[in-house]
Structure 1
Amino acid sequence: MITIKNLNKYYGKTKVLNNISIEIKKGEIFAIVGHSGAGKSTLLRCINGLEEYSDGSLQVNNKEIKSLKKENLREFRKKIGMIFQHFSLVQRKTVYENVALPMQLWGYKKEQIDKKVNELLALVGLDNKKDSYPNQLSGGQKQRVAIARALTLEPEVLLSDEATSALDPNTTTSILNLLKEINEKLNITIVLVTHEMDVVKQIAQKALLLEHGNIIGFDDTEELFLKPDEKMKEFLGESEVVPSEGVNIKLYFPKDNAYQSFITKMARELNMDFNIVWGKLEEINTHIVGNMVINIEEEKKEIVTNYIKEHDIVWEVL
């Protein structure tokens, strides 16, 4: 669907994207994550052809973006929907008129526009607001209008640039649930730019972490949170605080793994007590994943590690 290989981007002599190589599959919800200045919005704008990249390859449906001529680029962008942090609605137009605008600009017939707009307003839960103006709507409602407008030309890809950053947590959750519903019903590939890790946990199947234009993490979302490397821990601002005495063993529990029963079972079968000295559980895409650190005496290390190996648990000694 979207294939990026060895992509570089410069602003003058400053390199803002460095050797980016990723693949985003059809129907995937993909997050591009990073702090301010990481290069995530620049990468998003390269995907829809609003920014030129310096070298490397960026293909959407096997079309190299930098090779598209002006008239082809316009047709290409028709299949790329876009939503923004501040909604970008036309204040003097009603909800209906805002959603209808892209179809009007492309010369669709009135009956086609009417049918599509009414369908989309029903999908986003605003069919009773079509005659309202943006200043009569809440932030969440405005974003729903923006999402409906982005879908009018039946795009294959929906790009979201910090679309939930201006919303409160409850509204953010409702918008993310709507995006999931759109993804499932319409099989639209969604690429989200965000600095909010909770957004990534709730919706993204895969995530790319950027720092100063460099990839510091790229994997399934659950794997990134379940087994963070040092860069990921630094990005999340967390680290294990464990005792200096004894042996600290970190156990990783993927989704649907009975982590609590494993610790209890091991303690019972080995006739040992374990001190759980650190732990973290995360809900990622409705699954609970996590890890915990147990502290044991040095002489018990071999017995415990042999038991863990027999049960196919991912682990490491810290």
Structure 2
Amino acid sequence: MINIKNLNKYYSNTKVLNNISIDIKKGEIFAIVGHSGAGKSTLLRCINGLEDYADGILLVNNKEIKNLKKDELREFRKNIGMIFQHFSLIQRKTVFENISLPMQLWGYKKEEISKKVNDLLALVGLEEKKDAYPSQLSGGQKQRVAIARALTLDPEILLCDEATSALDPNTTTSILNLLKEINEKLNITIVIVTHEMEVVKQIAQKALLLEHGNIIGFDDTEELFLKPDIKMKEFLGETEVVPKTGVNVKLYFPKDNVFQSFITKMARELNMDFNIVWGKLEEINGHIVGNMVINIEDETRDIVIDYIRQHDIVWEVL
């Protein structure tokens, strides 16, 4: 659905996106992650045609964005919904009027608007707030209004630019659950820009990590967290402290694989004791993944690694 290849973007002489190549499939929830200044919002704005780019390919539904004329670009944007960190609601308009605005601008009939808005109010759980004004809503309710407004024209793609950054953790979870529901019910492709790794863990199927406009990670979300490379560890702020003696073996366990049972089984069958240095479980997109570091004696290295290989466990010596 979204195909980007060798994309480069400059602000004056400064390169802000460097050789970006990714594919986003239809119906996928995709995260673009990075610290402030990484280029993630710029990339998002390239996808919806609000920013141009120097060279490379950016196809959305097989349409090259930079080749679209003014009228074509307007029609193209009709198919893309957008939500923002600060909601961008019109304060003097009611919830119903805010949601209906895109349909009014496109000339829909009053009956069509009323049915669509009421359906969307039910979807986002705000039927009783249709006549309220933004000042009477909580942050989470405002974002639900913004989401409903972004869906009025039946887009195939929903772009979310730091959509949960202004919300507390509980409200963030409720908004992410709503986005999941929308993704499943309407089969809308969702692209989320965020600096919050917890958001990525809760919702994204794939993630792109950006640093100063460069890709430093791109994979299924579970793989990124299951076996982070050096750049990913730096991004997460993780350090691995391990014993200086013996052999430190790191084991990686894919989703829903209970690693404690493997360690217990290995110790029993090899008749050995292992020092567990540390272990970590993460819930990623509804699945449990984890890794663990064990410390073994030098003379047992070959026996233990042989056993691990036989059980198809991903591992490395630190």
Q: TM-score range by the shorter chain?
A: over 0.9
Show the counterpart of 2:133: 133
1:128 match: secondary structure: helix
Show the counterpart of 1:102: 102
Distance in 1, matches of 2:306 and 2:54, equals: 52
Q: Deviations over 1:59-79 (max 9, x none)?
A: 000000000000000000000
Show the counterpart of 1:224: 224
Q: Deviations over 1:113-135 (max 9, x none)?
A: 00000000000000110000000
Distance in 2, matches of 1:117 and 1:98, equals: 10
How many angstroms does 1:256 deviate by? 1.9
Report 1:275-286 matches (<5 A). 275-286=275-286
Distance in 2, matches of 1:312 and 1:20, equals: 33
Show the counterpart of 1:194: 194
Show the counterpart of 1:206: 206
How many angstroms does 1:257 deviate by? 1.4
Show the counterpart of 2:185: 185
1:120–1:148 CA contact under 8 A, matched in 2: yes
Distance in 1, matches of 2:203 and 2:170, equals: 14
Amino acid in structure 2 at the alignment position of 1:149: R
Amino acid in structure 2 at the alignment position of 1:12: S
1:241–1:278 CA contact under 8 A, matched in 2: no
Show the counterpart of 2:289: 289
Amino acid in structure 1 at the alignment position of 2:70: K
Show the counterpart of 2:172: 172
1:9 match: secondary structure: strand
Give the aligned CA root-mean-square deviation in angstroms: 0.4
Show the counterpart of 1:163: 163
2:80 pairs with 1:77:
no
How many angstroms does 1:145 deviate by? 0.1
Amino acid in structure 2 at the alignment position of 1:225: F
Distance in 2, matches of 1:90 and 1:258, equals: 50
Distance in 1, matches of 2:45 and 2:231, equals: 26
- Percent identity of the aligned residues? 86
Distance in 1, matches of 2:239 and 2:219, equals: 20
Amino acid in structure 2 at the alignment position of 1:166: A
How many angstroms does 1:281 deviate by? 1.0
Distance in 1, matches of 2:53 and 2:124, equals: 34
2:118 pairs with 1:118:
yes
Show the counterpart of 1:237: 237
1:154 match: secondary structure: coil
Q: Deviations over 1:44-103 (max 9, x none)?
A: 000000000110010000000000000000000000000000000000000000000000
Distance in 2, matches of 1:229 and 1:256, equals: 22
Q: Deviations over 1:251-293 (max 9, x none)?
A: 0000021311100000111111111102211100111101000
Q: Deviations over 1:161-218 (max 9, x none)?
A: 0000000000000000000000000000000000000000000000000000000000
Distance in 2, matches of 1:174 and 1:69, equals: 39
TM superposition score normalised by structure 1: 1.00
Distance in 2, matches of 1:53 and 1:281, equals: 40
How many angstroms does 1:22 deviate by? 0.2
Distance in 2, matches of 1:43 and 1:141, equals: 28
Distance in 2, matches of 1:24 and 1:83, equals: 19
Q: Which runs of 5+ in 2 are unaligned?
A: none
Distance in 1, matches of 2:63 and 2:154, equals: 18
Count of residues in correspondence between the two structures: 318
1:30–1:204 CA contact under 8 A, matched in 2: yes
Show the counterpart of 2:30: 30
TM superposition score normalised by structure 2: 1.00
Q: Which runs of 5+ in 1 are unaligned?
A: none
Report 1:295-306 matches (<5 A). 295-306=295-306
